[in-house]
Amino acid sequence: MKKLPTLGFIGTGAITKALVTGLCSRAADVPYPIVISPRNAKNAAQLKADYPDQITIAENNQAVVDAADWIILAVHPNIGEDVCQSLRFRPDHKVINLMFDKSIGQIRDFISEVDTILFMIPLTFNAFTDGPIVLYPANDEAAAIFGHIGRIIFADDPDQALVYDTFSGCVTSLFAVMDSLIRWSESKGLSSDDAAAYITRFFNAVSRRLPVWTAAASTPWRQSVWKMASTCRH
Ligand SMILES: NC(=O)c1ccc[n+]([C@@H]2O[C@H](COP(=O)([O-])OP(=O)(O)OC[C@H]3O[C@@H](n4cnc5c(N)ncnc54)[C@H](OP(=O)(O)O)[C@@H]3O)[C@@H](O)[C@H]2O)c1
């Protein structure tokens, strides 16, 4: 079997925890060696405890870079430039940036010349389900790695990638709507558990149905949604 590349994560926050959990638990047949940075210490220790054979906690960020073939930049945008500039990369390194506000050109300016720089948009749901993962530009090797935990979508250009990124910000609004509906149901006498179970299953089912509706519709998208929504109510 071909040697699997080592994946190195700079920043062990929510998104790294999710991606590493997804890779270790849902892609166990392709056990990519994974090196994580020591911060956040709690997440790093938890991941190491959960997957001791697959995960190494590096001493510092440079040790992550030195040990990895692919380096995933998963720190907050406000420290991204400093973190990148503090690291030394090899020319054969492949880098994936998760910071939404940093272009590939900026990352290239922050670090030395490397083989590949990509922008990727995963979400924490990739820990447990094949939600979409946007990649720009298209890259088959990255798609093969992260395709184990998500449905890969190649963006055509950086602007299109940012359009996809906008949806990540809508998750909070969606949860707020669901939370309001759960609270309202409770005020009408439903138990909290029944309300939460119903609302989450309801939205799950509706979103699974939507592609079928839109694919079947010959009318413009918005009209078809309204039409289907009205049929749904009867
Ligand atoms: N969360 C998502 O769903 C998501 C999706 C796509 C992209 N992203 C992007 O991914 C990046 C990380 O997001 P996140 O949600 O994982 O944030 P987060 O949970 O706050 O994690 C960031 C982690 O970086 C660590 N850190 C701080 N300074 C560091 C340094 N100098 N070197 C290494 N690690 C350092 C922090 O550790 P300490 O706790 O020890 O300070 C923190 O735990 C952001 O740019 C975000 O926009 C996130």
Closest C-alpha to ligand 1, atom 23: 13
CB-count burial class (<10 Å; 0-12, 13-18, 19+) for 133: buried
Single pTM value for the model: 0.88
pLDDT per residue of the chain (234 residues) written in tens, 0 to 9: 689 999 999 999 999 999 999 999 999 999 999 999 999 999 999 999 999 999 999 999 999 999 999 999 999 999 999 999 999 999 999 999 999 999 999 999 999 899 999 999 999 999 999 999 999 999 999 999 999 999 999 999 999 999 999 988 888 899 999 999 999 999 999 999 999 999 999 998 988 877 666 666 655 666 666 666 566 554
Instruction: Using the atom order of ligand 1, give the atom closest to the CA of residue 10.
Output: 33
Closest C-alpha to ligand 1, atom 35: 11
Residue 121 in contact with ligand 1 by CB distance below 6 A: yes
Residue 99 in contact with ligand 1 by CB distance below 6 A: yes
Give the integer Cα–Cα distance in Å for 185 and 156: 43
Q: Which residues of 57-96 are buried (b: 16+ CB within 10 A; e: fewer)?
A: bbeebebbbbbbbbbbbbbeeeebeebbeebebeeebbbb
Q: What's the number of domains the chain is made of?
A: 2
Which pair of structure tokens corresponds to residue 46?
A: 């938890």
**Residue 135: in which H helix or E strand, if any?**
strand 132-136
The verdict on 32 and 102 lying in the same domain is yes
The verdict on 163 and 174 lying in the same domain is no
The verdict on 129 and 178 lying in the same domain is no
The verdict on 92 and 108 lying in the same domain is yes
The verdict on 48 and 60 lying in the same domain is yes
Which pair of structure tokens corresponds to residue 67?
A: 């040990």
- Residue 234, pLDDT score: 47
Asked if residue 2 belongs to a domain, the reply is no
Asked if residue 57 belongs to a domain, the reply is yes
Asked if residue 55 belongs to a domain, the reply is yes
The verdict on 90 and 195 lying in the same domain is no
206 and 214 in contact (C-beta within 8 Å)? no
Edge to edge, the sheet with strand 94-97 lists 55-57, 34-36, 7-10, 70-73, 94-97, 116-121, 132-136, 151-154
Which pair of structure tokens corresponds to residue 96?
A: 């994936």
Asked if residue 129 belongs to a domain, the reply is yes
Asked if residue 126 belongs to a domain, the reply is yes
Could you tell me the distance, in angstroms and rounded to a whole number, from the CA of residue 30 to the centre of ligand 1?
25
Q: Which of 148, 168, 188 is the last residue of a domain?
A: 168
Q: Which of 113, 141, 168 is the last residue of a domain?
A: 168
Residue 79 in contact with ligand 1 by CB distance below 6 A: yes
Residue 87 in contact with ligand 1 by CB distance below 6 A: no
The verdict on 90 and 35 lying in the same domain is yes
- Residue 112, pLDDT score: 84
The verdict on 125 and 200 lying in the same domain is no
Torsion of Cα atoms, 109 then 110 then 113 then 114, to 10°? -120
The domain that holds 123 is classified in CATH as 3.40.50.720
Asked if residue 1 belongs to a domain, the reply is no
Give the integer Cα–Cα distance in Å for 71 and 88: 12
Asked if residue 221 belongs to a domain, the reply is yes
Residue 126 in contact with ligand 1 by CB distance below 6 A: no
Asked if residue 125 belongs to a domain, the reply is yes
The verdict on 158 and 178 lying in the same domain is no
Could you tell me the distance, in angstroms and rounded to a whole number, from the CA of residue 144 to the centre of ligand 1?
24
The verdict on 79 and 22 lying in the same domain is yes
- Give the count of alpha carbons within 13 A of 184, CB side only: 8
The verdict on 44 and 119 lying in the same domain is yes
Residue 84 in contact with ligand 1 by CB distance below 6 A: no
Q: Which of 150, 168, 186 is the last residue of a domain?
A: 168
The verdict on 190 and 132 lying in the same domain is no
Q: Containing domain of residue 45, as a range?
A: 7-168
Measured in Å, how far apart are the chain's first and last C-alpha atoms? 55
